Amino acid sequence: MADESIQDIIDTFDLLGDWDQRYQYLVEIGERLPAMEPADKIDANRVMECMSTVHVVAKPESGAIRFDGDCDTAIIKGVVALLVGLFSGKTAAEIEALDVDALFEGLQLEEHLSPNRHVGVYAIVNKMKGQAARAA
């Protein structure tokens, strides 16, 4: 069973219908992602496996973890924004327990991203989960 927050994201995407609308929505949520601190855009926070330039950083906050992220590609920035929203406010254990596969299957990302992008998206997830574990 998918986490409630994952199901909410999937339900939102289901309302959008075709992939063009979903793609546009991903681009829009990427555009709304708060700017990342330039000081956080360091190699330690970069997802090296991504073709795009992606940075994510975990920051402990009141017993939970908050993420910031950025990307130089519109569609992947949207995926980063989705993950930042999904992971932020949770504990490291909650983040580790999230079934991100259920999210990506529900959004049908595999069908619409190239294999290289797919690898990169999972690298972002793994980076974020690793950062969460260290930040806890």
Residues catalogued as catalytic = 50
DSSP codes joined into one string, the chain: ---HHHHHHHHHHHHH-SHHHHHHHHHHHHHTSPPPPGGG-SGGGB-TT-SS-EEEEEEEETTEEEEEEEESSHHHHHHHHHHHHHHTTB-HHHHHH--HHHHHHHHTHHHHS-HHHHHHHHHHHHHHHHHHHHH-
* One-letter identity of residue 12: T
Distance, CA of 60 to CA of 89 (rounded, Å): 9
**Dist CA 56 CA 134 (whole Å):** 13
